[in-house]
């Protein structure tokens, strides 16, 4: 895996030299922060894949996003999320302080602009997990962003979701919650055509999806 390093002090000096122009156009591309976004079907395992990617891509900047939902056991404000009230979130919307935001399952989620700007100043690449609405919005505004859609491995989406939920012994979802997840997944699937890459997450083998996504990221870091 290629790693992004700090920009050498003489890099900007070389950029000013015409004879190095062509070489440094590619170097500028290499040193510019790149944003990679992971989205996918509801319940497909995005969080698991994202955590594994974060572990492997330790030199990427970790962006802390905002939400209005309540913290889950073990979650820490400022580390897992910035937990905001509805009014605090709406105030930040009015102040244009989000790169993107969306209302998902009764809660607001948003990516703070200052977190992105902090990463860009450091020359760090960024990996985000964002819903399909937010990801495609960023792609429209920043076409250089690489968006990756994580999907179930198979064609019968409803059955795949029910099968996976049935194997999640740690979670007890009501039929209404199951149906809501199925409806969400079908709506999310409509956005696949806007994504740069689509990756399957085989049941029980998240490492396969992680390996494929890391290959995509590696190819884009050196392109």
CATH fold for the domain made of 64-124:
Guanylate Kinase phosphate binding domain (3.30.63)
- Sign for the pseudo-dihedral over CA of 37, 43, 48, 49: negative
CATH superfamily of 25-60+125-223: P-loop containing nucleotide triphosphate hydrolases (3.40.50.300)
Q: What share of the chain is helix, strand, coil (3-state, %, to 5)?
A: 45, 20, 35
168, pLDDT greater than 80: no
pTM over 0.75: yes
Q: Report the C-alpha gap between 193 and 40 in whole angstroms.
A: 12
Q: Report the C-alpha gap between 22 and 166 in whole angstroms.
A: 56
- The pLDDT value recorded for residue 158 is 86
The full set of domain ranges for the chain reads: 25-60+125-223, 64-124
- The pLDDT value recorded for residue 42 is 85
Residue-averaged pLDDT of the chain: 84
Contact 31, 123 (CB under 8 A): yes
Contact 209, 40 (CB under 8 A): no
Strand ranges across the sheet with 98-104:
82-83, 66-67, 107-112, 98-104
Q: Give the chain's end-to-end CA distance (angstroms, integer).
A: 14
- The pLDDT value recorded for residue 117 is 94
Residue 31: pLDDT band by 50, 70, 90 thresholds? Answer: low
Between the CA of residue 173 and those of 140, 158, 162, 217, what are the distances in Å? 35, 15, 10, 34
pLDDT by residue (tens digit) across 88-122? Answer: 999 999 999 999 998 877 899 999 999 999 999 99
Between the CA of residue 170 and those of 15, 69, 182, what are the distances in Å? 55, 21, 19
Q: Which helix (H) or strand (E) holds 38?
A: strand 35-40
Q: What is the largest CA-CA distance in the chain?
A: 66
Contact 32, 154 (CB under 8 A): no
For 8, the token pair is 């050498």
Rg (CA), the chain: 19
28, pLDDT greater than 70: no
């Amino acid at each position: 895996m290629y790693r992004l390093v700090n920009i050498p002090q003489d890099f900007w000096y070389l950029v000013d030299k015409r004879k190095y122009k062509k070489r440094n156009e590619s170097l500028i591309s290499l040193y510019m922060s790149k944003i990679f976004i992971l989205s996918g079907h509801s319940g497909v395992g995005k969080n698991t894949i994202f955590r594994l990617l974060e572990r492997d891509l330790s030199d990427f900047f970790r962006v802390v996003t905002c939400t209005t939902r309540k913290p889950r056991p073990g979650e820490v404000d400022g580390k897992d999320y910035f937990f905001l009230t509805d009014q605090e979130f709406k105030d930040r919307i009015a102040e244009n302080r989000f790169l993107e935001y969306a209302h998902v399952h009764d809660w607001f989620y948003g990516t703070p602009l200052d977190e992105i700007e902090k990463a860009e100043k450091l020359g760090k690449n960024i990996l985000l997990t964002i819903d399909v609405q937010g990801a495609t919005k960023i792609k429209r505004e920043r076409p250089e962003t690489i968006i990756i859609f994580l999907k179930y491995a198979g064609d019968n989406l409803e059955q795949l979701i029910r099968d996976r939920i049935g194997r999640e012994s740690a979670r007890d979802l009501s039929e209404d919650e199951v149906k809501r997840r199925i409806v969400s997944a079908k709506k999310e699937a409509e956005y696949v055509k806007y994504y740069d890459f689509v990756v399957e997450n085989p049941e029980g083998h998240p490492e396969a999806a992680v390996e494929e996504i890391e290959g995509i990221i590696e190819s884009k870091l050196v392109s």
